[in-house]
Structure 1
């Protein structure tokens, strides 16, 4: 039996996860703002980094902090780009792309459950389960990107109000699990999806110009600050986060 390839789910896990979502949003937007040729080169580099990080993750015999979080970060960057490109290329409204990505998440989880009979991250000890896990993770990033844009732009909530709304929503799975008996696996995946629009909304609020209801810090500086924060947090996590190995830990969020 292989050791678990994902970390324990603790408060630090969620903090790093939210930071990667904000970084992915800001970095993707920053690349999109570059001249066409430079943007194309940066996209290719991001794709190469994604492939390399996932290759290292699948090759690792167990959870390794910097490998795992590098993969999460690159899925965030590329997932944001893919979601934005698909929306623009298809011409579909944000509510339609949100629905489409929600179906993709449901399909991924459904295929995983039919194949393995378990969606717990503590069961990710085989290559096939790990493949389902990362497919689902990528789908949640795309869904979260569409949801964040939908609430901020289509519903006209703006970036700050959207971020505050998702901050409230992400507490609901915790409350439902702790006091109303919600299954811990369902609570985990519900919160996991919500981390994406939560982090991205606040990143956009800091990064976008003031005329677009942001603080005007700039996407580049926001991405850089979050990268530094992620590196520091992952360094800290090496001393505190361990491979997920006991079911009780899944409920620790």
Structure 2
């Protein structure tokens, strides 16, 4: 084996080591939707069923999210358990931010949806101006990771407001709302694979849309039958989905099937 080959392999290992996010596969999207569902049902569970109240729940979950992000930022590579724990917690916090604005402060859902959309666009603009890329395949610096998680927070908050807007304010109901967002995600996928829609924008559009999809599914499963749900309750729904998430994360941690390959990463992206 030549010296150049050793150097190339070392550089490849280094690039992969600093990639802090998973490869976007079917596993990624399945766990993402499950996390969004948990974000909706767990927020309702802590707020209403356990009697913590919206404000206390928001403080507790924000504190847990901050702790998880400290460990996530300190990690030198993608760690499935750390990463998906942060996603679950940020899903809950994103839901709570939207709920606080609408329930505690009386801000209309139309306003919160528009405000979070603007906040997300501004985050992308600042990210691109700073890094000249929005690629999720090169999250290898603290600044890129900060933009990444801020964008994710706003996608969850935006998705919560948009999902509530369609399911409640527009009276579509939970299952029909979920169907609408599923069709939109399918349209984005079709545009990406058949019309060459930019991969980065395809990812982020789908990422936003999976939030109201998961939230609508969570509400449909957990809410009482007389309110349009299946009546499974927030406790059962939350623990069921958490168990599936845990099983998938353990599987991925053992098999490494979602470790992003370093091939195809150009120096300009770094």
Q: Which bin holds the TM-score, normalised by the shorter protein?
A: over 0.9
**Residue aligning to 2:110:** 95
- Is the Cα contact below 8 Å between 1:97 and 1:146 reproduced in 2? yes
- Is the Cα contact below 8 Å between 1:62 and 1:243 reproduced in 2? no
Alignment of 1:66-215 (within 5 A): 66-215=81-230
Query: Match for 2:259 among 205, 226, 242?
Result: 242
Rounded Cα–Cα distance in structure 2 between residues aligned with 1:189 and 1:23: 20
Could you list the runs of 4 or more consecutive aligned residues of structure 1 that deviate by over 3 angstroms after TM superposition?
34-45, 243-248
Rounded Cα–Cα distance in structure 2 between residues aligned with 1:40 and 1:85: 8
Number of positions where the alignment pairs a residue of Structure 1 with one of Structure 2: 248
- Is the Cα contact below 8 Å between 2:47 and 2:53 reproduced in 1? no
- Is the Cα contact below 8 Å between 2:71 and 2:82 reproduced in 1? yes
Consecutive unaligned residues in structure 1, runs of 5 or more = 249-253
Name which of structure 1's ranges 6-15 and 168-177 shifts more when overlaid on structure 2. Answer: 168-177
Cα-to-partner distance string for 1:113-148 (whole Å, 9 max, x where unaligned): 111110000121110000000000000000000011
- Is the Cα contact below 8 Å between 1:6 and 1:68 reproduced in 2? yes
| Alpha-carbon RMSD | 1.7
SS in 2 for 1:6: coil
**Pair 1:232-2:234 in alignment:** no
Rg larger in structure:
2
Alignment of 1:58-73 (within 5 A): 58-73=73-88
TM-score (norm 2): 0.87
Cα-to-partner distance string for 1:160-198 (whole Å, 9 max, x where unaligned): 000111111111221111000111001000000011001
- Is the Cα contact below 8 Å between 1:79 and 1:138 reproduced in 2? yes
Rounded Cα–Cα distance in structure 2 between residues aligned with 1:223 and 1:104: 29
- Is the Cα contact below 8 Å between 2:116 and 2:154 reproduced in 1? yes
**Residue aligning to 1:251:** none
Structure of higher RCO (CA pairs closer than 8 Å, 6+ residues apart): 1
